[in-house]
Each structure stands twice: as structure tokens, then as C-alpha cells.
Amino acid sequence: MSVQELIKQGAEARVYKSVVDGKLVVAKQRFSKAYRHPELDQKLTRGRLNQEARSLRRCKECGIRVPEVVRQDKYGATLYMEYIEGLTLKEWIIGNGDEAKEKELMSTVGKILHIMHSNNIVHGDLTTSNMIIDESNEVVLIDFGLSQISPSVEDKAVDLYVLERAFISTHPNSERLFSAVLESYGTSAAAQTVLRRLEDVRQRGRKRDMTG
């Protein structure tokens, strides 16, 4: 295995493009937090590593396209995953001018999120940078570092709210895009319950914005 290139430096991990057994992969290495007790830090780091791998495997079982887990290194706090070639959804939206194609893709995103939440998988950091349109034009969800398995309607509504805020902050005049996501998402009674809770989450968010 050889580290080739640092792709991303986040608050919790460094992400590299690497090679494992001759295969191009993404290596996500979680780093220690000096302010935490070493034993607690190790426990939390391994817990997050295991949860991310668990969420990815569960998505695979549900037919959701995510990077395949190649290897877990609990001692190096590193998760090795399939490298996905393609544009982020953010890049795709910026470069696309066809509204019909946009609506079709947003509908696909909504269906994927519906399946994910129906199986109690909460992503935790849904943004248009954490979705990739691969070379087969499939939507691939990535970066499950904050994910959890939860049946909570609140957690699922917050998941959608995070994505909505990402659309608003990154893509001006994108209301129609997120509306298409929600229209495709809300195709079951359980999903409608989540959408009703989403309105509550929005209201709380607006109050926080007003009060600072």
C-alpha cells in the first residue's frame, strides 16, 4: 500500500487516494484528539470507524450505491474504500443547464434517501459534495463518518434539513431542486411523517437564525 495524494483534511479525519493490492482506493484515517483521555479517544475513534463501515455495508445490502469497504485497520484508525471516479453532485449541478435532467436526477436522489431512511440509516452529513455521479451516471453516497443507525423520525428530518441548508448555501435559486428531492422521497406514510417533522425542524432553525 502506498499513499499517493491527500484529497481532504477534515475536522475528524484525513482522506487519501491510495493503492491497496494494486487497486485504487480511498483511505480515510481518523486522527487522535489530544484533549481526550487516550483510552476514551481510542474507544471513540474505533467506534466511529466501525459505525461508518457498518453503515456502508448496510447501504450495500439495501441496494444503495456506496463505496465498497476494502479493509478496516482498527490500529491505524483507517478505513479503506473503493475509489469512485466522477463529479460531485455539486459540480454536476453547477455545470448542468438542462432542467429536465436536473429534475430526473433530484428524483433519483429522493428515492435513494427514502430507501436509506426506510432502513433506519441516517447519513449525518448530507450535502451535494457527499454525492458523486459516477461514470455510469449512478448516484453514489459517500462520507458516512457521522452516520448512525436510528429509527428516529427526528434524526431523519434533521438529515433532510442538513441537505436543504446545503442546497440553499451552495446553489442559489435551487428551491425547485430540493422540492424535487422531497417529492420523490415522500412516497410512503413513514416518509410523510418525516416530512412533517422536517417542517418543525425548519421552524426551529428559523428561530435560531433570528435569535442568533
pLDDT tens by residue, 27-68: 999 887 767 777 887 888 888 999 999 999 999 999 999 999
Residue 207's pLDDT is what?
66
pLDDT band at 8; cut points 50, 70, 90: confident
pLDDT band at 210; cut points 50, 70, 90: low
For 2-82, CATH number out of 3.30.530.20, 3.90.209.20, 1.10.3230.20, 3.30.200.20 equals 3.30.200.20
The answer to whether 96 and 119 are in contact (CB under 8 A) is no
The answer to whether 110 and 181 are in contact (CB under 8 A) is yes
pTM for this model (two decimals): 0.91
Of 162, 179, 170, 60, nearest to 112 by C-alpha is: 60
Instruction: Give catalytic residue positions.
Output: 125
Per-residue pLDDT tens over the stretch 155-209: 999 999 999 999 999 988 889 999 999 999 999 999 999 999 999 999 998 767 6
Burial of 44 (0-12, 13-18, 19+ CB in 10 A): middle
Please report, for the chain, how many H helices and E strands are present, in that order.
6, 10
Residue 211's pLDDT is what?
56
The CATH code for residues 86-211 is 1.10.510.10
Cα-trace Rg, the chain: 18
Residue extents of the structural domains in the chain: 2-82, 86-211
Residue 3's pLDDT is what?
53
